[in-house]
Amino acid sequence: MNSSFNKLLTFKTLITALMIVVFFTNFLLIEKVNALSDSKQLVLDAWTLVNEGFYDPEKFDEIQWKKIRQKTLQKQIETTEEAYSAIEDMLRPLEDPYTRILRPKDYELLKSSNFGSEINGVGLQLGEEDETKKVKVVSTLAGSPAEEAGIVSGDFIETVNGISTEELGLANTASKLRGESGTKVLVEISSESGEIREVDLERRSVDLRPVRTKRLREDSHTIGYLRITQFSESVPKKVEEALQELKEREVEGLILDLRNNSGGLVSSGIAVADTLLSERPVVETKNRNGIKDAIISQKATSFDGPMVTLVNKGTASASEILAGSLQDNNRSILMGEQTYGKGLIQSLKSLGENSGIAITVASYLTPKGNNIQGQGMTPDKLLDLPDISEYGSSEDKWVKNAELFLGSILEKEDVLIPNIELSNEVKN
């Protein structure tokens, strides 16, 4: 009896001791988590935001995402800059150039370009080529130093101030190109044909002027021209105002110019589609939980006449959403070149120390289910014409082709746009 009692007492003592050890260990772990430095807390916050929002959670299993967090927090991270570098290293295995840390200067500049009307820099919109991962020019902003230097969509950025963009990556390349007005940056450019040249660019304040409009004449018909250079917060309202002005000037058809529009706020692109479509699907999104129901436009439209939309290889992201919705709903003919093919949507989140993080949270599909990422969109009518520096000018042959096409539509009021057989001839 005493032997059994002693064994039971020994067992209880062991259990109690084990519970004390477990409790003490957990207490130490809690203390350790609570004692994270501000710099390490920044890293943990970034990891958590990506963990909760990234559109492809299967990638986490592939790269052992939780183990990456553990290894990162074990590093010596004592300064904010060390935290930013650690976050960059942590995000690299995701192989998504658009999910990235934004240092305070870059975060502020990105917010300025989305909500303001000016930005300091050289006027380049950049992307990353899927196969080679090289930094590629998506488009140049009108009137920018980059445009004046002859840099065009499709060029590659090889070095910035002597530092290889392969070493810098997409986000740091963009950061190096921005800066105070009047300062200079030396950029090595290679063309698609392989020609390499150096360009010395002087940064300055670039007027984004996201919406530009005018009235054109084609024989006996009046046609409106509407150019959108990017999708910032103010664009939907500016587009509505522009369309109202064109209607008052009795335009019969509309040319929507999205050339070299590299995107911006997806919500703004969708809002513009809403003004041109009546109760039609605009876009479908696919996030980590699968495909969501399509966004449907309202009944009222700001313009319901015939349309032509001009696109080129600098047309990307939110502008592809708009162009795709117009094409798939037979609302507008697309003319020009194959578009860039960026079908991923980023969400911008604030971090400590005035920094931010951009996270890819979804991909988008056109109303007919076409995935644009890495493929782009094919116009109904391809235009093999040289580019021009001033879009919408009297020398712009792309606009002239669109004018002629709309003129032929307006001459045949009983013909619907979807039933028109497009000619492959290009008028010079």
> Of these residues, 317, 325, 332, 363, which one is catalytic?
317
Assign residue 161 a region (left: φ > 0; alpha: ψ between -120 and 50; beta: otherwise): left
Tokens of 86: 């650690």
DSSP letter string, 321-373: HHHHHHHHTTSSEEEES------EEEEEEE-STT-EEEEEEEEEE-TT--B-T
Are the C-beta atoms of 303 and 348 separated by less than 8 Å? no
Between CA 205 and CA 179 the distance in angstroms is 10
Q: Looking at the DSSP assignment, which residues form a beta bridge with residue 218? A: 221
Phi-psi group of 188: left, alpha or beta (phi > 0 → left; psi -120 to 50 → alpha; rest → beta): beta
The 3-state DSSP class for residue 190 equals: strand
Catalytic: which of 262, 342, 349, 355? 342
Catalytic site residue from 328, 332, 355, 396: 328
Residue 35, token pair as written in the block: 């004692």
CA distance 243 to 276: 10
**Distance in angstroms (rounded) separating the CA atoms of residues 306 and 254:** 6
Assess whether 89 carries a catalytic annotation. no
Based on the residue annotation, tell me whether 342 is a catalytic residue of this protein. Answer: yes
Q: Is 328 a catalytic residue?
A: yes
Residues labelled as active-site residues: 317, 328, 342
